[in-house]
Structure 1
C-alpha cells in the first residue's frame, strides 16, 4: 500500500519595518493607521479580484490587479507580497496557466500571513 505525503507550505514572509516606521513618521499615528487599514482592505479586495479574473479568463484585468498588489505591497513594506505579485505577472504574461495557479495560491498564503504580520508589528509599535 502506498503512503501519501502531506506537504506543508510554510514559507517565511518579509516585511520592511522601516517602511511602516516612515509612514508613521510622515503621517502621524492616526493617518498611518488609516492608510494601513485601507491598504489591508485593498489587499483583500485585490486578492478576490484576482480569483474572479482567473475564473472568468480576464487576463488583462488579472495583470492590472497583480500590478496594483505589487505597488501596494511595496507601499506598506510587504516585500514578499510585492515580489510574489511580480512573479504572478511574469507567469501570466508568459501564458503559463499551471504556474499562474501555483503562484496565485502562493500569493494567497503569503498575503494572509503578511496581513497578520503587519498588524502584529503595528501592535508592537503603538
Structure 2
C-alpha cells in the first residue's frame, strides 16, 4: 500500500507596496486608509459570500463574488489574490467543480493571509 503524502499549503504572500504608496500619495493618508479599510471589509464579506455560493452550488453568485474579489484585491495591491479569483471564475465558467473547490480553498488561504499583510503594512505606515 502506498503512503499518504501531506502537502504543505504554504505560498508567500505578495503585496504590491507601490500600489499602496500610490493610493496614499493620490488620496492622502486619511482617505487612503478609509479606502483600504472599506476594500478589506468588502473583500472579507465577498470571501464569505463565495464560500456560501460554492456550498450552495450557485455558479452565478460564485462568479459575481469572485469578480468583485478580483477587483477589490487589485485596487489595494493584492495581485496574487486577484489572479486566483480570476482562476476561480475560469473554473466556474468551465463548470469544473473539482478545480473550483481547489481554487476556492487556495483563494481563501491566500486572501486571509493577504488581508493580514495589508493591515500590517498599514500599521507600519502610521
TM above 0.5, one fold? Answer: yes
1:13 maps to which residue?
13
Aligned Cα RMSD in Å? 1.3
Equivalent residues, number: 126
1:33 maps to which residue?
33
Decide which moves more: 115-124 or 69-78.
115-124
State the shift of 1:7 in Å. Answer: 2.1
Q: Output the TM-score relative to the length of structure 2.
A: 0.93
What are the within-5 Å matches in structure 2 for residues 68-79 of structure 1? 68-79=68-79
1:84 maps to which residue?
84
1:124 maps to which residue?
124
State the shift of 1:125 in Å. Answer: 2.0
1:50 maps to which residue?
50
Supply the distance in 1 between the matched residues of 2:90 and 2:49 (Cα, whole angstroms).
18
What are the within-5 Å matches in structure 2 for residues 89-100 of structure 1? 89-100=89-100
State the shift of 1:6 in Å. Answer: 2.6
Supply the distance in 1 between the matched residues of 2:120 and 2:5 (Cα, whole angstroms).
32
Q: Output the TM-score relative to the length of structure 1.
A: 0.93
Per-residue deviation, residues 28-65 of structure 1 (Å, max 9, x unmatched): 11111111111111111001100111111211111011
TM superposition outliers: structure 1 runs of 4+ over 3 Å: 1-5
Supply the distance in 2 between the matched residues of 1:54 and 1:5 (Cα, whole angstroms).
27
Q: Any gaps of 5 or more consecutive residues in structure 1?
A: none
Decide which moves more: 8-17 or 96-105.
8-17
Supply the distance in 1 between the matched residues of 2:15 and 2:24 (Cα, whole angstroms).
15
